[in-house]
Amino acid sequence: MAPPASSAAEPIVQFTRVSKHFGDFRAVNDISFDIRKGEFFSLLGPSGCGKTTTLRLLAGFEQPDTDGGTVKIAGEVVNTRRPYERQIGMVFQNYAIFPHLSVERNVAFGLEQHKVPAAEIPGRVTQALEMVRLDPGQYAKRMPNQLSGGQRQRVALARALVLRPAILLLDEPLGAIDLKLRKEMQLELKALNKNLGLTFVYVTHDQEEALTMSDRIAVMDHGIIAQLGSPAEIYENPRTAYVARFIGESNFLGGTATRQGGAWQVASPNGAFIIPDAPGLAEGATVQIAVRPEWMDIFPVDHCPSGENAVPGTVREVIYLGETMHVIVTLGDGTDCTVAVRNEGQLIKPLPWKKGDRAAVSWLPEDCQVLEQA
C-alpha cells in the first residue's frame, strides 16, 4: 500500500537555523532547508561559500555551534551522532580507496567494519559492483593501480552503496576525471539516484553539473543560501545578481522605474525599456534586471521587431563557440551586452556582424529578470 501523502512528503534531512564557526570565521550562517526523500539535491557555489562545511555537518564530520541550530535525519536530531550512526554513505573527490586492497576488498571493507556476516559479503559486493556497471568477473580482483580514473570512481561509489545508506553524500566526486567521462558519469549518477530511490546530496562548484543532475539546487554565498529551487527556477528566475552571475551568463541593465499604463518602464543611460511587474516595485524605484544572452537578439538600429525592448550600441567582438556565436555589443554607457546567436554555418551562412558595426540589442519584456536589491 502506498504511504499517505503527508508522510511521503516528509523530508529526510532538515537543517534548522544551523551555524558553524571556525574560530572567528562563520562558515555557515543560520541556514534552514529541507531535503526530500529520493531527490538529487545539490549544494552549489564557489570555493569558501560553505557548501562543503554544510555537507560535513550532515555527514557528522563537523557539529553545529553549541547554539547553532539542529540537523535532523529521518526526523531525529543528529547533531552529536557520529558518522557511522547516521545511515549515510560518502564519496570523496579523491576517491579515498585503499591502494593495497583489490576492488572487491575495497568494496567489502565497510561491510567488514559493520560486522556483516561473512557469508553475506560476497553477494553484496557483487551486487554493488553491478550497480555501478563494473563486471565483477573482470574487475573484482584488480588492484586500484590497474583501473582508470572513471573505474576508480565507480569503485568508490560501489563502496558507499554496498552499505545500503539512506543518503549518499558526494563531495565533488567528478572533479578529477576528464570532461567526456565526467558528462557520462553525471548521467549515470542521475540514473542511479532514480533507479535506487536513494537521496543524493551533491557538492559542486560546476553550474552545468548541478543543472544537469539536480532535482533542486541550493546556491550558497558566504555561508548562506542565496536561492533554493529547481534548475529551471534558479536559471530562469534568479533572485539576485549573485545567482544570475554564478548560474550561466547574464547581461545586466538598470535604471529608474516609472508606471506607464499597465506596465513599468525603466529609464536607463542606454534608453528606456519595459519590464514585467515585480513585488516591491514603486514609482521612482531603482531597479536592476538580468537577461540571458540566448534570450536576446541583434538587429540593425531602428529595425527591431515591434513590442520588443531595444538598446543601441556598437559591435565590439564576434566570438566563435561552435554551436553558438557570441556577439558582444558595447552600449552607450560602456556596458557590454552579450548576444548568443545560433551558428548556422560560418562557411556557408556567416553572421552579418563585424567589429565596429552599429547594432541594436533586443529582447522581450517578459524575459527581463527583475533582481532583488542587495
Band of residue 374 on the pLDDT scale cut at 50, 70, 90 = low
3-state secondary structure 54-67: HHHHHHCCCCCCCC
pTM value > 0.75: yes
**Quick count: other Cβ atoms within 10 Å of Cβ 119?**
7
Query: Which range (7-16, 221-230, 319-328) has the least confidence?
Result: 7-16
Dihedrals φ, ψ of 338, to 5°? -105, 125
- Residue 83 DSSP class: G
Q: What is the pLDDT of residues 179-190, one digit of tens each?
A: 888 888 888 889
The residues spanned by each domain of the chain are: 10-245, 249-370
Is 42's pLDDT higher than 90? Answer: yes
Band of residue 126 on the pLDDT scale cut at 50, 70, 90 = very high
Cβ atoms 68, 99 nearer than 8 A = no
pLDDT on residue 119:
93
Q: What is the pLDDT of residues 193-214, one digit of tens each?
A: 998 899 999 999 999 999 999 9
Q: Strand order of the sheet with strand 70-73? A: 25-36, 11-22, 70-73, 76-77
pLDDT on residue 278:
81
CATH topology of domain 10-245: Rossmann fold (3.40.50)
Long-range contacts of 173-179 (CB under 8 A, 24+ apart): 173/91, 173/92, 173/93, 173/95, 173/202, 174/204, 174/209, 175/93, 175/206, 176/93, 176/94, 176/95, 176/149, 177/149, 177/150, 177/153, 178/149
Residue 263: CA atoms inside 13 Å, Cβ hemisphere, count? 12
Is 37's pLDDT higher than 70? Answer: yes
Q: Cell 570532461 identifies what position?
A: 179
Question: Which CATH number is 249-370 given?
Answer: 2.40.50.100
Q: What is the pLDDT of residues 47-93, one digit of tens each?
A: 999 999 999 999 999 999 999 999 999 999 999 999 989 989 998 87
Residue closest to 340 by CA, chosen among 285, 286, 273, 293:
293
Written as nine digits, the cell of 350 is 556567416
Across all residues in the chain, what is the average pLDDT? 91
Band of residue 1 on the pLDDT scale cut at 50, 70, 90 = very low
Residues 166, 192, 154: CA angle, nearest 5 degrees: 95
